[in-house]
Structure 1
């Protein structure tokens, strides 16, 4: 157990180092920089001397390794640096935006897990028409683009029926009802593919488990189908489902940029898109660091779920 924890810590630290270092390199290769963006906002023309002074003021005239070393030093002291444009602490800025992103991500994973698992179990128990419907729904969920589904939901539920707001985000502390209403459309949009993916994976895993010998023995002992499915088969089939939910969580963390921009949600994805457009290197690196920490946490959660579902994993 101690070795496994040590390996996890070392791999997580290595992942954080690689991701942040690559972020520095890739952003530096993009045309333009923050100094040009700031000067362009202040005036349509500026001299080369003004440009160099701004670069020196921002600290981006230093070699890239020196900039990264400075960023690592701040990180070791608990700081992600300062936003080049607003002067705000990046830790504070991301702290304000992580709530909306996590609300959408966790809401999507929860909805996909509950609905997808339920449909998968139903399909496994009642093969035939129900199975074909699940397959068709999975194919449709994979094929339908998120932005098209978002437009459809906004047109139907926000503009015509006026049931939910077309965009924006209400913090949980301000209003629980408003928070839930602001999450319905983005979560529903992102859950379409997730529900289909989880349902298909659950059905395949449950079909395999229900045909196993121990299930036949349980039936011979007179256990009801409901008891067999809930208490025995579902737990044995949960491994692949947990993997799918972990992959879904990771993909949502990096793929919610379009949805956050579409629904005007002030999350990490929207912040990353804005920082990329202005070449705000400290902010981009801070967002990448935050995303990586969330991915590491998601992987840890999946690993712990495996160990809970199958205690033998922890002894390996």
Structure 2
């Protein structure tokens, strides 16, 4: 298991290095006259040159990358060109909001998809057709449409949840739940559909295996067969899809955070990209790449635990 972990960790480090290097070169090589954008058209050439030297963008891109990398490995991702705030601080201040959404969505997706997928896979007939119909509806509806519907009905008309804004968990547990419930439900729609379909298909395939019939002939209770054997064998593929959906949720959170006015990483991404604040954008790229590597690593480890055959080279 240790060798398997080291292989996956090495692959993750290579991926992280490739993504950060390519992103930096693309962002900074195509940045143009950044100092002019910051100071405006009324600034003199001397002021622009002085600002460029202050930002360090007057040097070759590879030199800039080497300097950035030397600081990044020590946890220093630079400072915002517009606010002067450290990038790591700007990202970490908004990270709890996005993590609350993503973690809540994954938990809701995992529980709902497991229940519906198992139910549809075991009860082939009306139940399966209902789950399939709901799945088609879930894929057809865009996330922002679901978000607007939830806000209109459950926040504005019924006043059951907080419509906009975010309440930190440390301030109020009930307020925190009220502020993330609707965004989590809006995010969980499409991801639940994909994972449910994967669980359903894996359960159906597993139930057709000879060893399942052998367990039944030995008199094992059906519940023990389903949850102790079938679900574990069917969990590997579903877990991989769940990991991919978690990565996709980071992008989906950008839209949902805008609808619910949540001060998360999504809002920071939009504002930094619109203003051309490349240090902040680069910090967000690094954060996303790290999350992707960690998610893939955890997913591979859990899949290897469920199915030891996957640990082999």
Same fold (TM over 0.5): yes
Question: What SS class does the counterpart of residue 39 from structure 2 fall into?
Answer: helix
The residue aligned with 1:195 is 192
- How far apart are the structure 2 equivalents of 1:29 and 1:133? 52
The residue aligned with 2:109 is 112
The residue aligned with 2:84 is 87
The residue aligned with 2:53 is 56
Report 1:1-316 matches (<5 A). 1-28=1-28, 30=30, 34-40=34-40, 45-316=42-313
- Residue 291 and residue 95 in structure 1: after superposition, are their counterparts in 2 closer, same or farther (change >3 A)? same
- Asked if structure 2 preserves the Cα contact closer than 8 Å seen for 1:79 and 1:91, the reply is yes
Query: With structure 1 as the length reference, what TM-score do the two structures score?
Result: 0.93
- Tell which deviates more after alignment, 140-149 or 77-86: 77-86
- Residue 121 and residue 185 in structure 1: after superposition, are their counterparts in 2 closer, same or farther (change >3 A)? same
**Shift of residue 285, structure 1, vs aligned partner:** 0.9
| RMSD of Structure 2 on Structure 1 (CA) | 1.8
- How far apart are the structure 1 equivalents of 2:248 and 2:191? 10
- Tell which deviates more after alignment, 172-181 or 20-29: 20-29
**Shift of residue 155, structure 1, vs aligned partner:** 0.6
- Asked if structure 2 preserves the Cα contact closer than 8 Å seen for 1:94 and 1:287, the reply is yes
Question: What SS class does the counterpart of residue 87 from structure 1 fall into?
Answer: coil
- Tell which deviates more after alignment, 83-92 or 6-15: 6-15
- How far apart are the structure 1 equivalents of 2:221 and 2:8? 42
1:92-116 CA-to-partner distances (Å, cap 9, x unmatched) read 2211111111111111111011011
1:202-240 CA-to-partner distances (Å, cap 9, x unmatched) read 111111111211111121122222221111111111111
- How far apart are the structure 1 equivalents of 2:135 and 2:104? 20
- How far apart are the structure 2 equivalents of 1:33 and 1:170? 40
Unaligned residue ranges in structure 2 (runs of 5+):
none
- How far apart are the structure 2 equivalents of 1:210 and 1:25? 50
Count of aligned pairs between the two proteins: 313
- Residue 179 and residue 244 in structure 1: after superposition, are their counterparts in 2 closer, same or farther (change >3 A)? same
